[in-house]
Amino acid sequence: MSKEDNVNKEVPPLLFDHFWRYDEVMDFISRLAAARPELVKLSKLGQSREGRDIPLLTITDNSTGAAEDKPAYLIHGNIHAAELSGTHAALYTARQLLVDPGAADLLKRIAFYIVPRLNPDGAEFIVTTSGRVRSRTDRTAREPNTLYQQDLNDDGLILTMRQLHPDGPFVVDAQDTRLLIRRRKEHQGSFYRLLPEGLIHDWDGSDNIRVEGRSLDWNRNWSYDWRPEPEQPGAGDFPFSEPEMRAMAEFIHSHPNLFAILGYHTGPGAVLRPPSTGSDTDLLESDWQVLQELAQIGAEATGLPIYPAIKYHAADKRDINLRGHFHNFGYHHLGLYVFEFELGILANSAGITTEELLAATKDEQREAIARRLMAWWDQQEQRDPVYVPWTPFSHPQLGRVEIGGLLRRHLAGRTLPDLERIAQGTYRFTLEHASRHPRITVEDVTVDRVASEIYRLRIRVANRGQFPTHISEKGKSLRRLRPLRVEIHLAHGAELLSCEGHRDLGHLAGLTDSRMLEWFIAVLKGGTQQVTSSLAEIRVFGGTGGNLSLVIPMPK
C-alpha cells in the first residue's frame, strides 16, 4: 500500500444513506478539512437568520499559491429548503477533489469555493420535520386565520391533515387508497380537504384558512431584473434582502477571481442554463453557443436533459420569466457561464422521466404518475419511509381529522443511492467546465545588457487557458471582470528609463493571445545601494486568470 493510500483513508467516506442535519454537515466538512489541511480551508460565508454559520469550503493546492490569486469556481447547494440533495452533491464534489488523482493538477492552478448548505435554517426545518418551506417562511408575524405548521401527534413529523368536508376538493383514489385525487363531477361520497399538520392562529371558525405566512424564494432575491412581490412571488423586500443571500452577494463581489458558478437544486432532473427571462436572443450569439456546448457536456455526464430556465415548466404553459433569478444574475451581472443542476425528484428514481413529468399537465396524468411512483416504491427492498398511513387524530380546533400521507422531504429528491450516480456526473461536468479556466502566464523572459549600465527586460504575458479573461462576450463590457495589469517593482539602485512602472493590458483572449512588454533599466554602480541578486519583480494582476509575481534575477 502506498503512502497516498494511507492518507486517502483519513478522508471520511460520504455516505448516501440519509439526508443530513446541520450538525452532520458541519462534522463531515470538519473531518474533510482535518484530513487534507494542505488542500481545504473551512470558513463561513456568513450567518443565517437563526444564527447558524453558513459553511464555506475553499479547496486548492496551497503549495502553489493562495486561493485568492487563482481562478476560482463557486458551487452552492440547498438554497431551497427541501432540496437537501444539493448538499450531498456539493459535498461529493468537495470530497472527490481531495481524493481524485485526476483533480490534483487542476487544484494547483485553480480554487474551488463550495457552499454546500446555503440555507441551513430552512434545511434544518425540512430534515427534522419534513414540513414545507420554499426558502424561508415568515413565521414570526402571526396572522389571524392562518395555519402554522407544527407536529401535533408527536411523531416527529409534519405531515398532511385530511378532514371530511362537504366542499372538500379531494377524494380517496379507488386504485390506490393511500392517495387522494382531485374531486370530479362523477365522484360520490367522502370528500376531503387537506391542510398541513398544524394549528390555526387566531381562528374565527370559518373555512377560510390561510396556510403559513409570507413565503420567500431566495432564487428570486438576486439583483438582476429583481421585481417586487406580488409581481414576482417570493422576491423579498429588495435584492439580497435575505441575510444569507447578502452574504453570498458580498462574497461574489469581493472575489473577482470567480470564473464560473454552479448551483444545485432538486426539481425534475435537468441541466438548466440561462436565460431566466425573455428568450435566447437576449444572450449574445457566441455566448449562447458556449452555454449550449457546456450544457451538452453536463447532459452527457449526467444523462439529464437540457432546459433554458425559461422553458423549465409544465408543457402547457408559455415560457416563464423568473425575476431576480440566479441565471440572469450570473450572466448579465457577472458575465459568467452559470448553470444549475436540477438533481431530480423521487419520481425520476422511479423511472419517470423529466419530459413525462413536465408533460403531465392534466389531473389524470398526474394521478397516473403518483400511482406509478407508489407501485415502484412498493417493490423497493431498501426503501425510504415515503408514506405514513392516515391515522385518526382529535384536532383541538378542527375536531376529527386524520394525519398521514406522503413525506415531502423524500418526494423532493431522488433516492440517495440514485443521487450518488448523478453526483458523479455533475463532478465530471465541473472538472470539464473548470478545466477551461483562463490562465495567465509570463513567458519568454529575457534580460539583455544593451550598454554598460543599461539592461533591456522583455517578457511575454499570455493567457494559455481556454476561456478569455473576460469569460463571456458579455463579460467584456462589465467592470466586474477585471482586465490585466502588470507592474514592475525595481530593486534598490535600479531605475526605469522607459515607460511607466505599470501597464494596463486589457483583456486577453483564450489560448493564443499574448502581449510582449519591454522595459529599459539603468543600474547605478558605485552607489551605497548595490543591486546584487535581483533586478526587479514583475507582478501580474490577472482578474479571472490569476495573479502572479516573478522575480527577475540580475544577469551575471
Segment contacting Zn ion by CB under 5 A, of 58-66, 258-266, 346-354, 492-500: 258-266
Of the pair 32, 347, the CB lying nearest Zn ion is at: 347
Least CB distance to Zn ion at residue 57 (A): 21
Contacts with Zn ion in 82-101 (CB under 5 A)? 83
Segment contacting Zn ion by CB under 5 A, of 12-20, 78-86, 192-200, 326-334: 78-86
Of the pair 224, 264, the CB lying nearest Zn ion is at: 264
Number of residues interacting with Zn ion: please give it, by CB under 5 A.
Answer: 3
Handedness of CA 460, 466, 469, 472 (dihedral sign): positive
Q: Does 80 bind Zn ion (CB under 5 A)?
A: yes
Of the pair 134, 439, the CB lying nearest Zn ion is at: 134
Contacts of 365 (CB under 8 A, 6+ apart): 359
Of the pair 265, 409, the CB lying nearest Zn ion is at: 265
Least CB distance to Zn ion at residue 540 (A): 39
Q: Which residues lie across from 270 on neighbouring strands? A: 342
Contact 460, 442 (CB under 8 A): yes
Residue 31: in which H helix or E strand, if any?
helix 22-35
From residue 144, give the alpha-carbon distance in Å to each of 66, 204, 213, 396: 54, 8, 10, 17
Of the pair 135, 146, the CB lying nearest Zn ion is at: 135
Of the pair 265, 433, the CB lying nearest Zn ion is at: 265
Segment contacting Zn ion by CB under 5 A, of 3-11, 120-128, 263-271, 473-481: 263-271
CA distance 344 to 84: 11
Q: Which three cell numbers stand for residue 283?
A: 444572450
Which of the 8 DSSP states describes residue 318? P
Least CB distance to Zn ion at residue 265 (A): 3
Segment contacting Zn ion by CB under 5 A, of 79-87, 234-242, 392-400, 512-520: 79-87
Q: Nearest residue to Zn ion, using CB?
A: 265
Helix H, strand E, coil C: the string for 108-174 is: HHCEEEEECCCCHHHHHHHHHHCCCCCCEECCCCCCCCEEEECCCCCCCCCCEEEEECCCCCEEECC
Please identify which residue in 132, 265, 323, 410 interacts with Zn ion, judged by CB under 5 A: 265
Contact 104, 38 (CB under 8 A): no
Q: Does 134 bind Zn ion (CB under 5 A)?
A: no
Segment contacting Zn ion by CB under 5 A, of 76-84, 411-419, 483-491, 523-531: 76-84
Q: Which three cell numbers stand for residue 505?
A: 493590458
Q: Which residues lie across from 520 on neighbouring strands? A: 456
CA distance 226 to 234: 11
Nearest alpha carbon to residue 544 among 39, 26, 74: 74
Segment contacting Zn ion by CB under 5 A, of 36-44, 259-267, 370-378, 446-454: 259-267
Least CB distance to Zn ion at residue 81 (A): 9
Least CB distance to Zn ion at residue 531 (A): 60
Least CB distance to Zn ion at residue 99 (A): 28
Of the pair 95, 265, the CB lying nearest Zn ion is at: 265
Nearest alpha carbon to residue 386 among 411, 366, 368: 411
Least CB distance to Zn ion at residue 80 (A): 4
Contact 87, 116 (CB under 8 A): yes
Least CB distance to Zn ion at residue 116 (A): 15
Least CB distance to Zn ion at residue 465 (A): 31
Of the pair 116, 543, the CB lying nearest Zn ion is at: 116
Q: 438: number of CA atoms within 13 Å, CB side? A: 35
Helices (DSSP H) in 254-325: which residue ranges?
285-302
Q: Does 325 bind Zn ion (CB under 5 A)?
A: no
Give the rounded distance of the alpha carbon of 49 from its chain centre.
19
CA distance 97 to 110: 12
CA distance 108 to 99: 14
Least CB distance to Zn ion at residue 545 (A): 32
- Straight-line distance from the first to the last Cα atom of the chain, in angstroms, rounded to the nearest whole number: 48
Segment contacting Zn ion by CB under 5 A, of 81-89, 345-353, 384-392, 489-497: 81-89
Contact 454, 522 (CB under 8 A): yes
Segment contacting Zn ion by CB under 5 A, of 5-13, 74-82, 297-305, 327-335: 74-82
Contacts of 14 (CB under 8 A, 6+ apart): 28, 88, 91, 92, 95
Q: Which three cell numbers stand for residue 366?
A: 398526474
Least CB distance to Zn ion at residue 286 (A): 29
Least CB distance to Zn ion at residue 233 (A): 14
Segment contacting Zn ion by CB under 5 A, of 80-88, 302-310, 418-426, 468-476: 80-88
Q: Which residues lie across from 40 on neighbouring strands? A: 59
Least CB distance to Zn ion at residue 240 (A): 18
Of the pair 83, 402, the CB lying nearest Zn ion is at: 83
Q: Which residues make up the interface to Zn ion (CB under 5 A)?
A: 80, 83, 265
